[in-house]
Amino acid sequence: MTYINQGLGYGLVIGFGLVMFAITWFFARWKGYKTKLGFLLAGRNVGWILGGATIAASWIWAPALFVSSQMAYTKGLAGIFWFTVPNVLALILFAFFAPQIRKKFPEGYTLPEYIKHKLKSESVHKIYLFPYFFYQLMSVAVQLFAGSALLYMLTGINIIIGMILISVIVLAYTLVSGFEASVVTDLFQLILIYVPGIIIVVSLLSKFGFSAIVPGLNGIESTAGIFDPSVAFAFGIVTAIGLISGAISDQQYWQRSFAIKKDQLKKAFVFGGILFGLVPIGLSILGFIAANPAMGISLPAGVDVSLIGVQTVATLLPTWIVALFVLLLLGGLCSTFDSGLSATSSLFTIDVLKSNDDKKNLKYSRIAMVGITALGLLVALAANYIPGFGLKHLWWIFNTIAACVVVPTVLSLYWEKLNAKGVFWGVLVSFFVGIPLFIYGNVINNAYWIVFSSLGIIAISALLCVVFSLIRKSKIPNYLSG
């Protein structure tokens, strides 16, 4: 069952793409896109208001849009609490990390580049590139996976066609001016998120009142309030580790740390965190209403539970508001998609290409964007055809891999004794020990395995970083230096 005529669906998607392309062309094309500094960092001249908007918009991606409603629906207040607080905290932490890295590495572009500068190790630099590239790949795949599912559910647009449409749209405007395109469109995409979001929430409350929310506040799992210990243990710990690790291991936020004016970084990240936090809180209302048995909300057979918020809007509100909801979701998904392309271009240009030729840098930055989009499309297609595989699984996979490098990254900013040997073995052992245990825990669906494997990844990397770094007489092997 679809809720919007397929022709209208195509019109919304294509119209959205044309507007984003026009905005990019008008505002960003002539402002330094011909240089590496302009294309990758917008000349390090982004102010805190625009910076806060782009920080929030790039963090409002598929999990924020879909998992927020899902957690409110399944786990009630406890679910949305443990989803929202770590999300906001992940951005607020950059109010400390961003000024610190600018102080230590003022002319930098990427976090792996800083790690190489800090530790003087090619091997550690290379081992860092895997999770940083992988994070962007999974980021692109998640947006395509969720976006195509949304379009199919609401309009009947074929999933493969939906993925291709979204890919072409985001590539078209991001290729024009790189990071500048991402920053400029993020502001308009944030407006597209907020305005329809307010209309949807006001429409639901005016039609059904707060009484429709109250019966669903404990979710369909009947959790014991906001501080339910079982939710805190099984969901809260893993989510907090994943989200905070994800932000720290995401080049998108280090790119913004290097692009926003140095004296405005703290304000930008705090502002961005507040702007973001309002979105999952607002969307949680959809989940609470869906959890109210009297509302009669049910998902079609085979539809992932993460789309419960979409189903609520489609069932209870008129078509024109559903169309606005499509624009809201497209704005959120594409803001992160284009940020992923920009982050990939900076990683490839700075950490792989390593050229001083601006013409060459811009050429291969754009090639990197096309490449990551193609790979993300393949991953999203594969995930779509794996039985029982959903958005939550994609989200957990890349956040868990990100956790392997979060401790050495933070230590590199504040601990002068950190050395390459500790980082190398910390990341390597936590990856090959922690990740298999985490996957196994998810396969057998055992909360204890999942939680302790997540904590183990953090503990192993921290322990080895500290132990090897404190053995002062130990020389770093040749294969780690250079």
pLDDT tens string 206-232: 999 999 999 999 999 988 888 888 898
Per-range mean pLDDT, top range of 208-217, 236-245, 293-302: 208-217
Range 378-394 average pLDDT: 73
Q: Is residue 120 pLDDT above 80, yes or no?
A: yes
Give me the pLDDT at residue 476, please. 47
- pLDDT greater at residue 197 or residue 241: 197
- pLDDT greater at residue 35 or residue 440: 35
- pLDDT greater at residue 59 or residue 475: 59
Range 332-357 average pLDDT: 94
**Among the listed ranges 199-203, 349-353, 431-435, which one has the minimum average pLDDT value?**
431-435
Q: How confident is the model at residue 96 (pLDDT cuts 50, 70, 90)?
A: very high
Give me the pLDDT at residue 474, please. 46
Q: Is the CB of residue 399 less than 8 Å from the CB of residue 245?
A: yes
Q: Is residue 392 pLDDT above 70, yes or no?
A: no
Q: Is residue 344 pLDDT above 90, yes or no?
A: yes
Range 292-308 average pLDDT: 86
Cα 346 from Cα 255, distance rounded (Å)? 8
Q: Is residue 479 pLDDT above 80, yes or no?
A: no
The full 3-state SS of 228-239, as one line of letters, equals CHHHHHHHHHHH
- pLDDT greater at residue 316 or residue 388: 316
- Name the token pair of 61: 């991606």
Closest residue by Cα to residue 69 from 400, 416, 273, 312: 312
Closest residue by Cα to residue 369 from 175, 177, 110, 163: 175
Give me the pLDDT at residue 399, please. 67
Cα 45 from Cα 260, distance rounded (Å)? 6
Q: Is the CB of residue 119 less than 8 Å from the CB of residue 412?
A: yes
Q: Is residue 242 pLDDT above 90, yes or no?
A: no
- pLDDT greater at residue 481 or residue 467: 467
Give me the pLDDT at residue 387, please. 67
Question: E strands, 190-263, where?
Answer: none
Per-domain residue ranges of the chain: 6-391
Cα 61 from Cα 96, distance rounded (Å)? 23
Beta-carbon contacts of residue 32 (< 8 Å; ≥ 6 apart): 38, 39, 42, 43, 180
Q: Is 479 helix (H, G, I), strand (E, B) or coil?
A: helix
How large a percentage of the chain has pLDDT more than 70? 94
Give me the pLDDT at residue 472, please. 58
Range 173-185 average pLDDT: 91
**Among the listed ranges 4-18, 163-177, 397-411, which one has the minimum average pLDDT value?**
397-411
Give me the pLDDT at residue 29, please. 60
Give me the pLDDT at residue 126, please. 94
The dihedral over CA atoms of 205, 210, 213, 217, expressed in degrees to the nearest 10, equals: 140
**CATH superfamily, domain at 6-391:** Sodium/glucose cotransporter (1.20.1730.10)
Burial label, 229 (beta-carbon count in 10 A; 0-12, 13-18, 19+): exposed
